[in-house]
Amino acid sequence: MTTNNPDDATSLAQLIASGAASPSELLDDALARVKAVNPALNAVVLLQEDVARRSIRDGLPDGPFKGVPFLIKDLGAESVDFPSHNGSIPLSDTRYTYDSEIYRRMRATGVVTFGRTTSPEGGIGPVTEAAVYDGPTRNPWDVSRTSGGSSGGAGAAVAAGIVPLAHGSDGGGSVRIPASSSGLFGFKATRARFPDGPAAGEGWAGMAIDGFLSRSVRDNATMMDACAGPDAGAPYAAPAMEISYSAAIARPPRRLRIGICDTTFTGAAIHPDCKAAVAAAAKLLESLGHTVVPACPKADHNGMMRAWTKIVACGTALSARGLRERQKDLQGVSKSAIRYAQDISGADYLKAVGDIHSYGRQMAAAFADYDILLSATLAEPPAKVGRFTHERDDYEAYRIGEGGVFSYSPFCAAFNASGQPAASVPLHWNDEGLPIGIHLAAPFGEDATLIALCAECEQAQPWALRKPPVWCGKP
Catalytic annotation on 150? yes
Give pLDDT tens digits for 120-179. Answer: 999 999 999 999 999 999 999 999 999 999 999 999 999 999 999 999 999 999 999 999
- ∠ CA 190-193-197, rounded to 5°: 135
Choice among 55, 79, 119, 150 that is catalytic = 150
Percentage of residues of the chain with pLDDT beyond 70: 99
State the Cα–Cα distance between residues 111 and 101, nearest whole angstrom.
15
Give pLDDT tens digits for 235-272. Answer: 999 999 999 999 999 999 999 999 999 999 999 999 99
Residue among 205, 118, 94 at smallest CA distance from 166: 118
Residue type at 119? Answer: S
pLDDT value at residue 474: 61
Give pLDDT tens digits for 300-324. Answer: 999 999 999 999 999 999 999 989 8
Helix H or strand E encompassing 156: helix 152-159
Helix segments in 295-345, DSSP class H? 301-320, 332-342
Catalytic annotation on 174? yes
Question: Torsion angle of alpha carbons 129, 356, 410, 117, nearest 10°?
Answer: 30
Predicted model pTM: 0.98
Choice among 73, 188, 310, 467 that is catalytic = 73
All structural domains of the chain, each given as residue ranges with its CATH number in brackets, are: 9-460 (3.90.1300.10)
Give pLDDT tens digits for 332-380. Answer: 999 999 999 999 999 999 999 999 999 999 999 999 999 999 999 999 9
pLDDT value at residue 38: 98
Give pLDDT tens digits for 20-29. Answer: 999 999 999 9
Range from 2-6, 115-119, 327-331 carrying the lowest mean pLDDT:
2-6
Instruction: Inform me whether the pLDDT recorded for 94 exceeds 90.
Output: yes
Give pLDDT tens digits for 390-439. Answer: 999 999 999 999 999 999 999 999 999 999 999 999 999 999 999 999 99
For 144, residues 6+ apart whose C-beta sits below 8 A from its C-beta are 138, 384, 385
Q: How confident is the model at residue 53 (pLDDT cuts 50, 70, 90)?
A: very high
Pairing status of strand 138-139 against strand 372-376: unpaired
pLDDT value at residue 23: 98
Q: How confident is the model at residue 46 (pLDDT cuts 50, 70, 90)?
A: very high
Give phi and psi for 84, each to the nearest 5: -140, 145
Choice among 84, 119, 174, 418 that is catalytic = 174
pLDDT value at residue 291: 98
Average pLDDT, rounded, for the chain: 97
List C-alpha distances in Å: 413 to 77, 190, 259, 281.
Answer: 21, 13, 18, 21
Q: How confident is the model at residue 475 (pLDDT cuts 50, 70, 90)?
A: very low
Give pLDDT tens digits for 77-89. Answer: 999 999 999 999 9
List C-alpha distances in Å: 11 to 27, 109, 201, 340.
Answer: 15, 14, 35, 48
